[in-house]
Structure 1
Amino acid sequence: MAALFADPLHDQFGTWPVAYIPYGGADFGEIAAVAAEVGNGDDDAYHAAWIAAAERLEAEAETTLASGHESSARELYLRASVFYATSYHPLFGAPVDRRLLDAYRRQIAAFNRGLALGPHPVRPQRIPFESQAMPAYFMPAAGYETEVRPLIILNNGYDSTSIDMYFLSAVAASRRGYHSLLFEGPGQGEMLYEHGIPLRPDWEAVIGAVVDFALAHPLVDPSRIALSGTSLGGHLAPRAASVERRIAALIADPGTWSIADGFRHAFAAMFKLPPEAVADLGKLDESVMQRAEQAVRADRSMHWKVIQRGYWVHGVDNLRDYLASAELYALAGRAEQIRCPTLITQAENDPAAADAETFFAALRCPKTFMRFQANEGADGHCEMRNRSLFNRRAFDWLDEQFNVEMR
């Protein structure tokens, strides 16, 4: 797909809603219209254009609702939540930009208003967890709103929220007869933006609390609980499943072996270093660390990924501490402990999936490897340009694991 936004970073973020088109999150013309409004503008212009579009959709929702068209209002509020959510990614970083907080709060408010409408309203919930409860939504299966069904827990990644997971997978799950549970954990969404709680490697503690919450729900089949991780969730979910035995099936999209290995390979090649020199990135020679930081700061995309997002999400303020933290996110010695049937995905042209085959080879459980190709329009990170293909194949696989029957 040709770039819609002039700035490559804006195009990366601004085309996320393409994945949501089959599930009511946007239409292509709306995305293109925002891109045209941004033009050659900077991050401020990008943010302002998305906010203006979100406000227009929300205003239309209110007018439509006042006229008694509840179904249309629901669609518009949910769509507005996507536009608010898409506005603030370039603003990532600590201290938190007030515009990001405002957009996030408006995103959640629009989402909640949309979900509250219709014959089966959904209300926001809280999952008890240590000192700060996690925000959550229980999304019922369409046509089975009062029946016990299999559940899929949808695990976010580095920079997505419950709204993203709703449009990426929850709508598809509901159509396929699955209840789903959305949540934002440490380092994600509200937990990071509002409370400053960073990411943590022992994700089994997080998922343990999520499963406890799920099992208390009367509509959840306790023998058929799946965990699906998207983006960095393709690392976090497997880490949790290596310990949490109540998970009956696991999906890692993509299978992410390690956070640090990508940096390890890049620094070794960039600075012509032997393997032993990059064995522990937190202990890099100071001269190498300084050159690495210069390289990161000089590249707009890497600056955003590492300094704006990485430092903030990991709760650090320098490259050495960030790389030391990244070393803690590795599945070596843990993948072998996963026991439930596991689906590992790998999309062509997705750097995050580079080690998916290594991950797959380490598994000792029943396992399936699923590739997505450019000639299917499903290459790139998390199959965002053909998300419906991923959902069809992933839910077909899950149907087979759980013997799901539809009316």
Structure 2
Amino acid sequence: MKIAFTSDVYWPRINGVTVSTNIFLNELTKLGHNLRLWAPSYPEPEDTKGLHHADPRVARLKSWGLFFSKEDRLVSPFQRGRFFRELSAFSPDLIHAQVEFTTSLMAHSWANKNKVPVVQTCHTYFEQYVHYYLPLLPEKLGRSWARKLTYSLFRHADAIISPTVPMKAVLQSYGLNCPIEVIPTGIQEEDFKGTSKEDEHLHSRWILQFPQLRGRKILLFVGRVGQEKNLDFLLEVVEKIQSQVPQATLVVAGNGPYLDEFKAKIKQRNLDNLVLCLGYVDRKELRHLYTLADVFTFASKTETQGLVTVEAMMCRTPAVAIGLMGTKEVMNGDNGGFMVNDDVEEFSAAVVKLLTNTALYQAKSEEAYAWAQNWTASKMALRIEQLYRQTIDQYKNRTV
């Protein structure tokens, strides 16, 4: 099949949408399909310069910055003519929109004229995010607007991919009645193999670079550093467990708009010796960091997927996470760690239990690795391939 991907987010912008888009671009290519992605151009930040090489499958469209989110871009509507010409030249069997804004709207317009079906993935629970991006908008009004916006952006899709069952229920509650298939992204196994916890503790470049980590019990967070990730909660956790696990250290890997404020809070609470912010970490280095960590700690309550939890598990690092939305689906109980309520006491107790009980830790470590095998990208790509074929067939039957 010839599949056109569209997205308003891609490298060097680092988030779950970028990772998911890249994974399926690669996995579907491995299955023999011809893929092309249209994504925005970026002024490349210094800390990622040269790390994301040109991909002949990716066409960059001129874009504008957003005043309320300096990390993000919006493809210029003046790129519409070029976009349409390139889509026509590629002549896809199906379009898969990864983000529902400019590129998706233009893709729907082209698809409608050229009788091509469109699949859309819902990566973001906008109702839970809108107050972070538009803090001056009353929360109730913001949620109502986000629900209506989501409905309007997805209502013309021929099929929708939801990464989890809870997110599917949310979309259905908005009144969307096209087929909604639950297909998580999954992770690429080869990205997280080839290292062991023993080797990392002895030879890790992270310990060489940050010698203060030697001998510490590392609680790791990986992801975008935004308010929605609930990182202040993890500061409370690392404080609380000091009396029982005095060698515990929180390591935060990622960049984002909340990073400066988060660092200021670390100083205000005199936690400089207990929290280390690494900033951007290249994905090639993540497996070493995940493996070095003792526990993956994830307090976000708005995830549509929570793939980082599975990535940690693939490296035999058990997770403690708040069991809401995508995280609830990924862990499905205490698989690969402990899924807890939104409560600092309960979260902290689960972390302490793992760090002070060697037999339990070893059992959870192996359980985490086994559980992660259910979430491989190769398996998920086969499910997407099947959905594409079904959508194309159903579209042809409707338009005959």
TM-score (norm 1): 0.35
TM-score (norm 2): 0.36
Between structures 1 and 2, the one with greater helix share: 1
Using CA pairs under 8 Å that are at least 6 residues apart, name the structure with larger relative contact order, 1 or 2. 2
Between structures 1 and 2, the one with greater strand share: 2
